[in-house]
Amino acid sequence: MTIAPLPENEQDRLQALRRYQILDTESDELFDSIATLAATVCDVPIALVSLIDEDRQWFKAKVGLEAQETSRDLAFCAHAILNPDELLVVPDATQDSRFHDNPLVTGSPDIRFYAGAPIVTKDKQALGTLCVIDTKAHQITERQREALTRLSKQVCANLELRLAHKKLELLNESKNRFFSILSHDLRSPINSILSLADLLADPDSGLSAEEVEEFHRHLLTNAQVTSRTAENLLQMVQFEEGRFTFEPKLLNLREILSAAEGALAGRSSSKNITIRTQCQPALQVWADPRLFQSIVQNLLSNALKFSHPDGRINIVARSDSDSVTLLVEDFGVGIKEHNIPKIFALDASHSTVGTAGEQGSGLGLNLCKQFASRLNGDLKLESEYGQGTRVHLTLPASAPV
C-alpha cells in the first residue's frame, strides 16, 4: 500500500479547509443531494463528499457507506488531491500497486472501482473530493467524468454559499448589537447634552454663575462620554468588517503609557487618583500603534472609572525573552463573581456606572480582548468585589519569525 505524500501547499490547504468551518458539522441536504446524484449518474452503490484534514478523511455527505470517516493513510482521496486539476480514476484497485493491499480493498467496503473529482476552491486549494466507489471493477464514461467534475464544482459553490450565509448572520448580529448600543448608550448622554445646551442658551433661565459653571462641567463630561462611545463603536465596526488597517511594528511601551496617561489626565485629576507606573524606558512591544494605544487607553480609562476618589492605580510592565506583560491594577469597586463572564460578552447592557457616576458603553474590555487576540496576545481579568481589579495584557516582544 502506498501512503499519499502531503501536498506541497499542505498548510495553505488546511487553512483554506478550516476557513469553511465545515468539519464535523451535521448532515446537509444540499451536499447529500449531490452525493446521491453522483451515485446515480455513475451507476455505483457508494458516493462521498470527502474532506481531507491532517490525519483523516471525513465525509460531509455519503451514500451507501456507514462510516463517517477513515484514516488519511488509507484514503484514495488523499492521492486525488495531489493533482487538483485531474480526475483520479482507479478502474480496478486490486491491480493498482498503490491500493491492492489497502485494508479498504482487502476488506470492507471492498473497493474495486474508484473515481474522485477534487473539490477545488477559488484560490486553488484542494479540500477533498466528490468520489464514487463500486465493489466491481469497471471504467467510467466521458459523460460520467464530466458530470462528476461539474458536481464537484457544485460542492465548492455550496461551501462558498454556506460561508457567505454565516458571514451574513454575523453581520446581522453585529448590526443588531450596534443599534442596541446606539439606543442604550448614546441616547442618554446625547439627551443630557441637548437639555443642558438648551438650558444654558436660555437667557431667562435665571441660573447663577456657579450653576452655569457646574452645568458646563456636566456638558463637557457628557460630550466626552459620547465621544468615547462613538470611537469604540467605530473601531468595533471597522474591526469586525475587516476594514481596520493593521500595521504592527516595534513600539516603545513607556511612550504609549505616557500618551494614555496624558489623554486621561483630566479624569485622574478630577478624582485625585495617583497613577504609579513601573516600566523600563527602553522596553518594546510588537503591536499595531492604533490597536495598542486603544487597548492601553481603554484599560486605564476603566481603572479610573471604577477607582474611588483619592485612590491609586498601579501599572507594571514586565518582559521575558518572548513577550511583554502589562498589569493594570486598581483598588476600586471590583466586580461580582457572577458578572465576570459578562465582561467580554458582546452585549452592551452589562455596562456599569463608575464611582463618580461615569457612564460608558461597556465595549471597552470586549474590544481590548479582540484587539489583543489580533495582535497575537491575550488579555485576562481577575477581580474581587469591593477590593479592585487586575487586568493582565500579554503581547509579543518582537516580530514573529
Q: Could you say which of 129, 149, 166 is where a domain stops?
A: 166
Cis ω for the linkage preceding 84 (within 30 of 0) = no
- Looking at the domain assignment, is residue 356 inside a domain? yes
pLDDT (tens digit, 9 = 90+) per residue, 164-203? 888 788 767 766 666 655 555 566 567 767 877 888 888 8
Instruction: Give residue 310's identity as a one-letter amino acid code.
Output: D
For residue 37, the enclosing domain spans 10-166
Reported as a single tens digit per residue, the pLDDT across 126-179 is 999 999 999 999 999 999 999 999 999 999 999 999 988 887 887 677 666 666
Q: Please, where are the H alpha helices in 182-208? A: 187-201
What is the separation, in whole angstroms, between the first and last Cα of the chain? Answer: 38
Total domains in the fold of the chain? 2
Q: Is the peptide bond before 109 cis (omega within 30 degrees of 0)?
A: yes
Q: What does each C-alpha distance from 107 to 55, 88, 101, 103 come to in angstroms? A: 21, 21, 9, 5
Residue after which a domain boundary falls, among 105, 136, 166: 166
Residues 262 and 299 sit within 8 Å (Cβ to Cβ)? no
Q: Could you tell me if residue 383 is inside a domain?
A: yes
| Same-domain status, 139 and 277 | no
Confirm if 141 and 157 have CB atoms less than 8 A apart.
no
Same domain, 286 and 380: yes
Q: Which of 166, 196, 231 is the last residue of a domain?
A: 166
Whether residue 179 lies inside any domain: the answer is no
Maximal C-alpha separation, the chain? 102
Classified as helix, coil or strand, 342 is: helix
Return the closest-CA partner of residue 109 out of 76, 134, 88, 129.
134
Digit-coded pLDDT (tens) for 224-248: 666 766 665 666 666 666 666 678 8
The rounded distance, in Å, linking the Cα atoms of 15 and 123 is: 12
Question: Would residue 228 count as lying in a domain?
Answer: no
In-domain check, residue 112: yes
Average confidence (pLDDT) over 377-398: 92
What CATH number did the domain enclosing 260 receive?
A: 3.30.565.10
Q: Is 283 exposed, middle or buried (0-12, 13-18, 19+ CB in 10 A)?
A: middle
Shared-domain flag, residues 150 and 259 = no
**Is 194 part of any domain?**
no
Grid cell 478550516 is found at 18
C-alpha cell at 196: 443642558
* Rounded average pLDDT over 252-259: 91
Supply the CATH number for residue 97's domain.
Answer: 3.30.450.40
Residues 258 and 120 in one domain: no
Domain identity same for 267 and 393: yes
